Amino acid sequence: MKLQDINLANEEYILSRYRTVLKKQGIETAYDILYNFPTKYEDYNVNTLDGVELDQNIVLEGMVSSKVTVNYLKSKLSTVVFMLDVEDKKIRCTLFNRVYLKGRINYGSVIRVQGHFYQNFFNFTVNNLIICDEINRTIVPIYKIKEIAAEKYLTIVEKVYRRYHNLIEETLPVKYLSEHNLISMDETLKKLHFADNYEEINQALRRIKYEELLEYQLSMKYLHHMREMDHNCPQINYDETMVNSLIKNLPYELTPDQKTAIDDILHDLKAPYAMNRLLQGEVGSGKTIVAETAILATVSGGYQAALMCPTEILSNQHFETLKETYKNFPNVNIGLLTGSTSLIKRKEIINDLRNGKINVIIGTHALFQSDVEYEKLGLVVTDEEHRFGVHQRVLIKNKGFSVNYLKMSATPIPRTLAISAYGDTDISVIKTLPSIRKQVITKLIDQEHKKDVLNHMKEELKVGHQIYVVTPLIEESEAIDTANATEVYEKMARYFKGTATVGLIHGKLSSEEKEDIMEKFLENKINILVATSVIEVGVNVSNATTILILGAERFGVATLHQLRGRVMRSGSVPYCFLIPENLNDNAQSRLKMVEDTSDGFVLAEYDLLHRGPGEFFGEKQAGAMNFKYANILKDHELLNEVILDSEQIMKTNELTDNIEFKHLFDVVHHNYEMKMSELD
């Protein structure tokens, strides 16, 4: 028999009304109740009056030495007041808006109160009342259970544990329990529910965190393993002479990182299983030529390649870039397919894809709509990968292809986070910028030097350069006093009237409106573009040499670095001005770091430590790491141990063959089946 088989409806010590309440909250079996862990713990260790400070949260124990009085001060405000003898001192205790507790406070009874002294050491505001006869724990677990008093619920948990704890199954192999000094699952449940001190709680939590991290790491690595076992992807035997010709005739020397990334990708293309690789590097690091090499290799091997972009304007840019790159390769036929493509042209392109006449296609998600068919699709490249979700991958999969997949991202991702988030993906990193790229001169501007920035803008506009002005908000907010795009746009338009054209772009505009504005900026019909961080990712305007970031303290350092990357495309010296509004010490140190540091990976590590994974990924990707207890930042030492363990496990057959690994295998295989069903 298993804990999952024991229905609480059959347990006679649980009152009928409690069973109904528990069932409504999804707790129906012994397993459900024992694995419903506390959300927090209340510490009822008693404090002495010695050294206590006003407003300090403390617990006092004493005897009730007066009658209890109830006062109704307003329609929604009441107080319960009584005197408590503590260490030979009389203290006036007040409970707000909890008249129902009056009957539990009896003259002469010993109770504990949790709260704080206010005004003086005579008046004590009570937050929690502890009746010593009802609960004798100093560490009290708190659960998300409604309609059952905490002590009643804990009594039920205790009875279930005593009766059935022998059925608790161990889910980790003995080897790892021993190596990492982890307690058993039986001990873990006991200490989570009935701990005597915080050391026991931490022991139990460490065990749970390890298991959470191990299950996740193994799930990612198992996905990777199963992909390599699936030999349904065509092996692309590319023409080395053609690939070498492209690289040899480049007007610049590839960096070592670019060469390594190309070697990794070419190796993947020849493998019998589908490539799933993330190519990450900062704006201007040279990811595009790496992707272009992969595309050419695919075409030279007799297959088609698709480059999918998040916007039409970026698709158009890549189309022009690839035409120039492949101008000496007559066998490369390039097409462009977006939502704006005319019906006649669209039909022609779709026909040419179907018969293989077009072997390189660039566009938005329109590339994988239902009527688009490919003759021999061998490679899909996505630019700004985090802008695409599972939906686009489903569209690719539904074409019936097991294709090579190369994802490009300009967001520098710290190694720890990359391993955790992309454990099923091979990763290539380009850290070294090409020698032709000029470093952005970044300056933190105080109030006194704002005029210098305006003078700089005038000089840049005189020589025909363009400027970004970024704000954290679209419109004025009553709650937040900071620069907003609409107001800044109006001020800029008035100030530069007759000398420059000012445009405005933000997230509330339609896709068509944003495309139109960016097109005008690209063509220099707009000289100054006021924007929210919507321009962080997207089109490259080589003529834009300056970016002003207003309210800079409201952005993470990784975002600030991404934003200044927008002005790294020109041959001129680029500038980034950080203009804060409310500068405290913390904001000052963050902005100084951006001013002094040009390494995006260093800044990414800083943001990961201070702001969490959400700075790097959208909600869906970040949600994949929403552990119940583990935290990849605070538990990084444990995570590093888990990464090593998961790598070791995957090198052996233990996961599938050793009975001690059955639980882990069930978890990771279920995750694999769920991921596959998403793509069906």
Same domain, 447 and 559: yes
Looking at the chain, the whole-number percentage of residues with pLDDT higher than 70 is 89
Same domain, 378 and 521: no
Question: Average pLDDT for residues 529-548, to the nearest whole number?
Answer: 78
Flag whether 485 is in a domain: yes
* C-alpha neighbours within 13 Å on the C-beta side of residue 429: 11
What is the C-alpha separation between 440 and 95, in angstroms, rounded? 60
Q: What is the pLDDT of residue 33?
A: 96
Flag whether 223 is in a domain: no
DSSP symbols for 440-509: PEEEE--GGGHHHHHHHHHHHHHTT-EEEEE-SBSS--SS--S-BHHHHHHHHHHHTTTT--EEEE-TTS
For residue 479, what are the CA distances in angstroms to 74, 230, 476, 482, 657?
Answer: 30, 54, 9, 9, 59
If you ran DSSP here, which 8-state letter would residue 567 be given? G
Per-residue tokens: 121: 């050491």
Residue 382: give its domain's CATH number. Answer: 3.40.50.300
Phi-psi region of 85 (alpha: psi -120 to 50; beta: other; left: phi over 0): beta
Position 481 pLDDT exceeds 60: no
pLDDT digits (tens, 9 = 90+) for 517-527: 888 998 999 99
Position 615 pLDDT exceeds 70: no
Same domain, 315 and 399: yes
Question: Average pLDDT for residues 600-614, to the nearest whole number?
Answer: 71
Q: What is the pLDDT of residue 618?
A: 44
Q: What is the pLDDT of residue 620?
A: 39
Same domain, 424 and 455: no
**Which of 207-211, 317-321, 397-401 has the least mean pLDDT?**
397-401
Per-residue tokens: 4: 């999952």
| Tokens 């990849």, located at residue | 632
Residue 71: give its domain's CATH number. Answer: 2.40.50.140
How many domains is the chain partitioned into structurally? 3
Position 51 pLDDT exceeds 90: no
What is the C-alpha separation between 32 and 480, in angstroms, rounded? 44
Same domain, 476 and 558: yes
Same domain, 466 and 363: no
- Confidence bin at 679 (pLDDT 50/70/90): low
Flag whether 39 is in a domain: no
- Confidence bin at 475 (pLDDT 50/70/90): low
pLDDT digits (tens, 9 = 90+) for 198-228: 999 999 999 999 999 999 999 989 988 888 8
Flag whether 307 is in a domain: yes
* C-alpha neighbours within 13 Å on the C-beta side of residue 396: 24
Q: Which residues of 404-418 are buried (b: 16+ CB within 10 A; e: fewer)?
A: bbbbbbbbbbbebbb
| 510 close to 493: Cβ distance less than 8 angstroms | no
Domain end among 109, 131, 153: 131
Flag whether 496 is in a domain: yes
Same domain, 389 and 465: no
**Which of 274-288, 373-387, 527-541 has the least mean pLDDT?**
527-541
- Confidence bin at 657 (pLDDT 50/70/90): very high
The helix-helix angle for 287-300 and 256-270 (nearest 10°) equals 30
DSSP symbols for 573-614: PPEEEEE-SS--HHHHHHHHHHHH---HHHHHHHHHHHH-GG
Same domain, 489 and 396: no
Same domain, 507 and 366: no
Position 561 pLDDT exceeds 80: yes
Same domain, 579 and 476: yes
Question: Average pLDDT for residues 299-308, to the nearest whole number?
Answer: 94
Same domain, 426 and 446: no
Domain end among 430, 450, 475: 430
Q: What is the pLDDT of residue 647?
A: 92
Flag whether 277 is in a domain: yes
Same domain, 592 and 532: yes
Question: Average pLDDT for residues 114-121, to the nearest whole number?
Answer: 93
Flag whether 302 is in a domain: yes
Domain end among 597, 631, 655: 597
- Confidence bin at 396 (pLDDT 50/70/90): low
Flag whether 676 is in a domain: no
**What domain range includes position 504?**
441-597
Per-residue tokens: 99: 């008249």
Per-residue tokens: 483: 């620069």
Q: What is the pLDDT of residue 616?
A: 52
pTM (two decimals): 0.73
Sequence-distant (6+) residues with CB within 8 A of 127 are 57, 114, 115, 116
Position 20 pLDDT exceeds 80: yes
| 607 close to 557: Cβ distance less than 8 angstroms | yes
Position 478 pLDDT exceeds 50: no
What is the C-alpha separation between 437 and 435, in angstroms, rounded? 5
Q: What is the pLDDT of residue 393?
A: 54
What is the C-alpha separation between 214 and 642, in angstroms, rounded? 6
